[in-house]
Structure 1
Amino acid sequence: MDLFQADPFQNLQEKNMDFEDVFREIAYFMNRNPLGNYRLIVGTDSQVHKVDTIFITGIVVVDEGKRVWACMRRVLVPRKMVHLHERISLELSFTEEIVSLFTEERKKQLIEIILPNIYNGATFTMEGHIDIGSGQRNKTREFVHEMVNRIESIGVEPKIKPDAFVASCYANRYTK
């Protein structure tokens, strides 16, 4: 029996996408404006329910100030995960898993879309949004250093609350 039940990727327009479909959509989105300022963002949030825990990982590509394309993947863990560190760590593991699908070859393909326009202001960055905060009243503040180091170690720019909107807003919306 599988430990986790991962659904295919989906968004409001498409269901049952595999990662190849997602990558194709991102490349198509970027090709529509090769002069764009792109941020490719991955982030995960979770919600504990009565008998299970739902994790949503969002993939969002933003053309700053213009357009957005997004999709998400739902993973069901068939138990109530009550320990905060375990849940935050698993959220980050799901984010890391998706980031790892953007291999060096795939990142190179995306960069090549904007490369001819780099001197005209086109940009591409990749971020990992972590649903934690460093505020004094935030229960997750003790995990910030550990989780930020994990994201940095895979070559992705980390963002925490309040800047981690893919995890804390987009993914959160679908965990309910």
Structure 2
Amino acid sequence: MLKPILFQNSIENQMTYSEVFSHIYSFLQSDPRGNYKLMLGTDSQVHESSTLFITGIVIQRIGKGAWACFRKETIPRCMTVLHERISYETTLTEEVASLFTNEHLDKLINIILPNIYKGASFMVEGHIDIGSGERNKTRTYVNEMMARIESLGFDPKIKPDSIAASSYANKYTK
């Protein structure tokens, strides 16, 4: 039997995806003329005898705040091979992204749609905690991981633009 995917933030623990979606839906409804980014991303940290993965969901009303939550997963071994860890981070992001079905995304878009010509917008992004810089060890995986996120219909973002992974999720991996 599959265990449910649960999320938390500084206010609530044990949120189901349905509860998370309700928060996001309400956030958009509170200002249907806003400019929104729905960002998903995962970061990891190798600890003494395990590896902790945090997948963040951030809905940002650009210039006017955000609501966020995260999912925590611990693997009971040290994942020291970089490609394995980056690939698993992307897999966890894909897993959470799959919860946002076309039906769910359509419900969110329909809040914004009547206000598109008044400047409202809604973007969905998949954030990957990798960079393409010359000195970045993860640069060899950029094309592979970006292609995986693109295949979901999400706009892939890498460092320095992958804040859901490299900033929000990272904060909870320590």
Same fold (TM over 0.5): yes
Q: Which residue of structure 1 lines up, in the alignment, with residue 45 of structure 2?
A: 47
Q: Which residue of structure 1 lines up, in the alignment, with residue 109 of structure 2?
A: 111
Q: Which residue of structure 2 lines up, in the alignment, with residue 127 of structure 1?
A: 125
C-alpha distance after superposition, 1:149-170 (max 9, x if no partner): 1111110000000111110111
Q: Give percent identity, aligned residues only.
A: 58
Query: How far apart, CA to CA, are the structure 2 residues paired with 1:72 and 1:11?
Result: 6
C-alpha distance after superposition, 1:113-137 (max 9, x if no partner): 1111111011101000000000010
For the Cα contact (< 8 Å) 1:6–1:74, is it kept in 2? no
Q: Which residue of structure 2 lines up, in the alignment, with residue 155 of structure 1?
A: 153
The runs of at least 4 consecutive aligned structure 1 residues that moved more than 3 Å come to none
C-alpha distance after superposition, 1:90-120 (max 9, x if no partner): 0000000011100000000000111111110
Unaligned residue ranges in structure 2 (runs of 5+): none
Query: How far apart, CA to CA, are the structure 1 residues paired with 2:132 and 2:60?
Result: 25
Q: Which residue of structure 2 lines up, in the alignment, with residue 75 of structure 1?
A: 73
Report SS of the residue matched to 1:140.
Answer: helix
Query: CA offset at residue 33 of structure 1?
Result: 0.2
Report SS of the residue matched to 1:41.
Answer: strand
Query: How far apart, CA to CA, are the structure 2 residues paired with 1:23 and 1:7?
Result: 13
Query: CA offset at residue 80 of structure 1?
Result: 0.7
Query: CA offset at residue 7 of structure 1?
Result: 6.6
Residue type at the aligned position of 2:147: N
- Find out whether 1:137 has 2:116 as its counterpart: no
- Find out whether 1:29 has 2:22 as its counterpart: no
Query: CA offset at residue 8 of structure 1?
Result: 2.1
Q: Which residue of structure 2 lines up, in the alignment, with residue 167 of structure 1?
A: 165
TM-score, normalised by the number of residues in structure 1:
0.96
Length, aligned pairs only:
174
Query: How far apart, CA to CA, are the structure 2 residues paired with 1:174 and 1:67?
Result: 20
Report SS of the residue matched to 2:167.
Answer: helix
Query: CA offset at residue 67 of structure 1?
Result: 1.4
For the Cα contact (< 8 Å) 1:81–1:87, is it kept in 2? yes
Query: How far apart, CA to CA, are the structure 1 residues paired with 2:163 and 2:65?
Result: 16
